[in-house]
Structure formats: C-alpha cells, structure tokens
Amino acid sequence: MSEIKNIVDYKKVKPYNQEEEKTVQLARMFNTISDKYDKFNDIMSWGMARVWRKHSLLALKKYNPKLILDIAAGTADMCIKSYQYLKPEHVTGVDISDKMLDMGREKVTVANLDGKIDLQVQDCSTLTFANESFDAVTIAFGIRNFEKLNDSLKQIHRVLKPNGHLLILEMNEPKKGIILKGYQLYTKVFVKMTSSMLSSDTKAYDYLSASMHAFPNGERLIGILKENGFKLNTYRKFTFGVCSMYLVEKVI
C-alpha cells in the first residue's frame, strides 16, 4: 500500500462526520475534552507518555536548540518539558484548541515559566512565523491529527533554520503478534470503558483510537518526511512498539 493511499485513509478518520472539515471538528472536540485530555493520554499510553517525552527530548539535547516551536501543544506538557530538559531561550506552542491552551497557560504559570513559554492558537498548515525562525520543532502525539499533512510539513520546513530539527513522538499500534492483540483488547475494552466515565463525548475518544490505527507510521511516515524535505537522523520505538520517535533534519 502506497504512502498516498495511507494519507487518504487517515484523512477519512474524523471525530463526528465526513461533511465538515477535520480541523474544525478537531478544534471543537479538543475544546470539549480539554479538562480530561491529560487523564485520557495517560490511559492511552499506559502512563508512559512522560517517559517517552523525556527520552525523545533528550535526543535533541546535543543540538542545543535555543528557539523551539511545539506544534499541537495542547496543555503544554511538551513545552514545559522542553524548557526543563533543553534549557532553550524560548519555547512557542501552537494548537487549534483555545481551551487546551488555556489549561496549558495555567500549567506554565505553575511551573514559573511565564515569559519563557508562550502559547498561540494557530493551524500548523498556515503558520504565521517568519522563515527560518526556529532551531527545532516538536510534535508530541499530534501529527496524526493533521488534516493537511504535506502542507503542515512544508510550513515546518519553512520556519526551521538551516539544518534545524523536527522531533515527532507518536503512538501507533504494535505491528503483530501477542503484543498487538493485547493492545487492541486494551484499547477496545479498558480504554473505551474508562473514557466513557471521563466524558460523555465518546466519539472523541473513539476518534483518538481510530486515528492512531489509521495514520502512517514507521517507514511510511519516514518516506513522507523525506518527500517534504527532511532526512532521517534517528528512528526509535518505545514500549513494545506502542510509541515511535522520529528525529529528522531539514535538508536545505
């Protein structure tokens, strides 16, 4: 199956309906579940999301990025951890959900990082930043939500400085065997049951599981990144293949 076919399939996975634009639906969905999202993310990741963030960010440390852009920033966990682990001059986070960012601003204040981190409502396919503005871009558990994947990657390439780095952290199903069967059972039974107790918007959680299944990963995603002007530095799987890290570099 080609990468193009995978992108089409993934685009068909939407939270509520096929008629409305995916980005519009996602903004509404994340606004609805913003106060429960962190709990759900812990459930989906077996509580390992914090460990995965740390290991992936430490892969950036040797490049010493000073200006970092975090896309799909959500409630700002990746922004805060970027500052704590990498000590950049500034971190900018963008997301399509204003309510998720509101929760993120509260976290930033609690972490005493006001002035070091700022959060903005932006769509990654139409970023407003100047060319070559950032040393590194990070995306944690968000790239599978991009409605316009190629447009977004072109924007990321544009705002990165020469030889800048893009770090992607994303969940995916294990490839095969007993780990795959166990994870499918976990998501279909435990995650669905727990999410229904967290929020009445069960379609939101169904979407998050379905998008993880549909989105291209591994060699397919690496191929898409190469087509959009990036070369692979590091590809790493975490926790039996449930999560993958991609560290790529802008090709000038």
Cα distances (Å, whole numbers) of residue 93 to 138, 219, 233, 243 = 9, 28, 24, 22
What tokens were used for 81?
């951890």
What integer pLDDT is reported at residue 7 of this predicted model?
Answer: 43
What pLDDT was estimated at residue 4?
39
Given a cut of 50, the residues of the chain with pLDDT beneath it are 1-8
Q: What is the pLDDT of residue 233?
A: 97
CA atoms of 89 and 135, how far apart (whole Å):
11
Q: Are strands 230-238 and 243-250 parallel, antiparallel or unpaired?
A: antiparallel
- Domains observed in the chain: 3-250 (3.40.50.150)
- Please report the pLDDT score of residue 1 as a whole number: 34
- Single-letter residue type at 195: S
Q: Which amino acid is at 96?
A: I
Sign of the four-CA dihedral 100, 102, 104, 107: negative
Mean pLDDT score of the chain: 87
What is the per-residue pLDDT for 83? 97
pLDDT score for 94: 98
pLDDT for the residue numbered 221:
95
Residue 90: beta bridge partners?
67
Which residues lie closer than 8 Å to 185 by C-beta, 6 or more apart? none
How many CA atoms within 13 Å lie on the side-chain side of 206? 10
Structure tokens at 143: 């790239």
Please tell me the distance from the alpha carbon of residue 191 to that of residue 206, in angstroms, as a whole number: 9
Between β-strands 160-171 and 243-250, what pairing exists: parallel, antiparallel or unpaired? antiparallel
Rounded Cα–Cα distance for residues 204 and 195 (Å): 9
Angle (CA) 167-171-176 rounded to 5° is 125
Beta bridge partners of residue 7, listed in sequence order = none
State residue 185's pLDDT score: 57
What residue spans of the chain are helical by DSSP H? Answer: 3-11, 22-33, 37-44, 49-58, 77-86, 98-110, 149-159, 177-185, 192-198, 202-214, 219-227
pLDDT confidence of residue 143:
96
